[in-house]
Structure 1
Amino acid sequence: MTLEADGRGAAEDFMEKVFGDYVGANAIFMAAIGDRLGLFKDFASNGPATSAELAARTGLAERYLREWLDGMAAAGYLIFDEADGRYSMPEAYAPVLAEESGMMFLGAAFFDYSTNYGETFHALLEAFRSGDGVPQELYGQEVAESIERFTAPWFEHQLVPVWLPLMPEARARLEAGARVCDVGCGQGRAVIKLAQAFPECELVGLDRYEPAIQAATEHARAAGVGDRVRFELHDGAAGLPGRFDVVTTFDVLHDSADPAGLLAAIHDGLDPEGRYVCVDINCADRSQDNVGPMGTVLYGLSLAYCLPVSLARGGAGLGTCGLPEGRLREMALAAGFSQVRRLPVDDPFNNVYELSR
């Protein structure tokens, strides 16, 4: 084979890879439509349908549904039965496509994240030119809801039954009625879940994004714990509002404009015998080791949100992969923590740490 032919073969192989990536992008785009309009949930609840039947069930336009059904069948998300002209979703697909907050649900993680961030795409291009960031406020409510949906399985299925049993000191304090502070609380799901599991605790959630505080307050009231928790518009890096037995952050530290300052504030606001529970990204210490499918996802998320939001505040700009275990340990020790323990949790996305003052 000549050098020219060999080069052409490599180019064709790469062209096939790019085409495969584009196929996946189109599948995710169409799946995002189905997720946002509740179409997968409708199939899970009501079974097979023609486009006309699905239109009658959902109140959506038949012509658009017909195109979407054919596209999802082409992508392998739905199955078309030529005998009766109906489309169906295999039962095994429901946990992935339709079971909100389930451990296998990917609606928010993939579908939301691949469409909502398009609204800030041009702002991101300008940030590439200027070196500035993209303010969190520009992302809007839909992105905040996407983050809420993405993180929901952690709090619904992991925090209390899986993670806390691996931290006996922290759990004992919670059972005894701890003073708890969740920094970067978002819409409050972690605070609410802890309030439900440990009714003797006094809990506060902090966030610098006012719409998140408003949503968290409403969610706490709806969950029946509004009288036992509070949410404050506050930047944790400026110092915690008191002394706490347990402090938590859930995928917050790497997004922070001042992660070193936030670690120092948490250290100073923690009771001498207290515990800091830190959940952050499971990534390699060396960037060249963050490769393959998961590395691609992490760097895509970083460019879409984590990096520009931090830089918009003149921050450190760690990015999604900027806080591997080695760097977290280094920064935590510099902030005054005496011990950083990584829990034996098998999670491809997150590491869970327990830090002692």
Structure 2
Amino acid sequence: MSPHAHAPADEWADHVVGSAMAAMETLAIHLGDRLGWYRALAESGPHTPASLATATGTNERYAREWLEHQAAAGMVTATDDAGIRRFALPPGAAEALTDGSSLAYAAPIARMVAAAATQMPALLEAYRDGGGVSWADLGDDARWAQAEVNRPWFDTMLAPALAAVPELDAILSRPGARIADIACGAGWSALALARAYPEARVTGVDVDEPSIAQARSNAAAAGLADRVEFLHEDAGSLEGPYDAAFVLEALHDMPQPVEVLEAIRGAVREDGAVVVMDEAVAEQPAGPGDDVERLMYGYSILVCLPDSMSATPSAATGTVMRPAVLRGYAADAGFADVTVLPIEDFAFFRFYRLHHPR
């Protein structure tokens, strides 16, 4: 929690030091994730520094320093037995840091922060001259972190969330329904839609070629390549009519959101459904904000706004796309209304349905 605005300087200094420690711990989480240290601790721990290094093909001296840091930060437990120090990962931490199927899986967040940190010189330049830093610039750490952190929610929660909205579920359940997933990334959302609605055909589109390649591989591995296709295109390539289209945590990144929504409106039947899932930020800004606001503004200054501004022209939306902003984009794209769907407790997200004119 930030100090009060009128707090003395030493309280603000303590706040800065605490923030710096949190940043260092985040990057240490990234090290443990990418080097396989957390996974080794979860699967074969407790470990000494030597055994952890051997199990993961890493350097013992670095492993020892990282383990001691993790113990100091409360991430691992340490025990001494006859002068031999062993380190263990508690079960809850193991789930959050290594179980990619768990809704608690959070390690990819550290990977995203690391991706942004490596681009700090480019971010500084962009902040000075108004340019940007694209997802392509951020690279695989950002690309796959985004895919991995959302995957368990798509795999586990998307189907029941949509089934709980009868009118939407009926549209998606139409025999031979065509569903579009715009900015589909690695394809986990499209595959979840295909599993939930086995009579539907799903088309995922994305402008990021590595993501589309991975999505096609994921579809083949899931045995769904016959019903799910992935196109390296943008929304303007959609050839309707579609029964439904989804934009899942992506609209705020798009340089031209109105044009994308116009293309979607033209491709989806008037009796179909257009659904946008985006961050569940507050209706109005407030300072200090809650944890969702703090997290989303963090993503915005480091990732989403620079990505959006890497293209010209750009709406420069940023991660914190408040409901009124989305409603404005929808109106400009020719939609008649926007309603919030009764889907709650879906990570940090809110679901909107955009309605065609009647």
Normalization by structure 1: what TM-score?
0.91
1:171 and 1:131 mapped to 2: Cα distance?
Answer: 43
Q: Which amino acid aligns with 2:229?
A: R
Alignment of 1:277 with 2:275, yes or no, is yes
CA offset at residue 269 of structure 1?
1.2
Deviations 1:49-99 (A, max 9, x none): 111121232222211111110010010000111235211111222221221
1:173 and 1:144 mapped to 2: Cα distance?
Answer: 31
Residues 166 and 343, structure 1, Cα contact 8 Å, conserved in 2 = no
1:292 and 1:248 mapped to 2: Cα distance?
Answer: 28
Task: Find the counterpart in structure 2 of residue 79 from structure 1.
Answer: 77
2:38 and 2:196 mapped to 1: Cα distance?
Answer: 31
1:52 and 1:212 mapped to 2: Cα distance?
Answer: 37
Task: Find the counterpart in structure 1 of residue 139 from structure 2.
Answer: 140
CA offset at residue 292 of structure 1?
4.3
Cα RMSD of the aligned pairs, angstroms, is: 2.0
Normalization by structure 2: what TM-score?
0.91
CA offset at residue 348 of structure 1?
5.8
SS at match of 2:282: coil
2:171 and 2:162 mapped to 1: Cα distance?
Answer: 11
Identical positions, percent: 34
SS at match of 1:218: helix
Task: Find the counterpart in structure 2 of residue 108 from structure 1.
Answer: 108
SS at match of 1:287: coil
Alignment of 1:201 with 2:226, yes or no, is no
Q: How does 1:170-181 map to 2 (within 5 A)?
A: 170-176=168-174, 177-181=176-180
Alignment of 1:65 with 2:63, yes or no, is yes
Task: Find the counterpart in structure 2 of residue 332 from structure 1.
Answer: 330
Q: 1:264 aligns with which of 249, 262, 265?
A: 262
By percentage of residues, which structure has more helix?
1
CA offset at residue 167 of structure 1?
2.2
CA offset at residue 284 of structure 1?
2.1
1:174 and 1:348 mapped to 2: Cα distance?
Answer: 22
Residues 255 and 315, structure 2, Cα contact 8 Å, conserved in 1 = yes
The count of residues paired between Structure 1 and Structure 2 equals 347
Deviations 1:301-334 (A, max 9, x none): 112221111111111110011x211222233234
1:334 and 1:146 mapped to 2: Cα distance?
Answer: 32
1:256 and 1:31 mapped to 2: Cα distance?
Answer: 30
SS at match of 2:173: helix
Task: Find the counterpart in structure 1 of residue 217 from structure 2.
Answer: 218
Q: How does 1:293-304 map to 2 (within 5 A)?
A: 293-304=291-302
Task: Find the counterpart in structure 2 of residue 128 from structure 1.
Answer: 127
Q: How does 1:27-42 map to 2 (within 5 A)?
A: 27-42=25-40
Residues 112 and 141, structure 2, Cα contact 8 Å, conserved in 1 = no
1:78 and 1:139 mapped to 2: Cα distance?
Answer: 30
Question: Runs of 5+ in structure 2 lacking a partner?
Answer: none
CA offset at residue 257 of structure 1?
0.8
1:289 and 1:248 mapped to 2: Cα distance?
Answer: 32
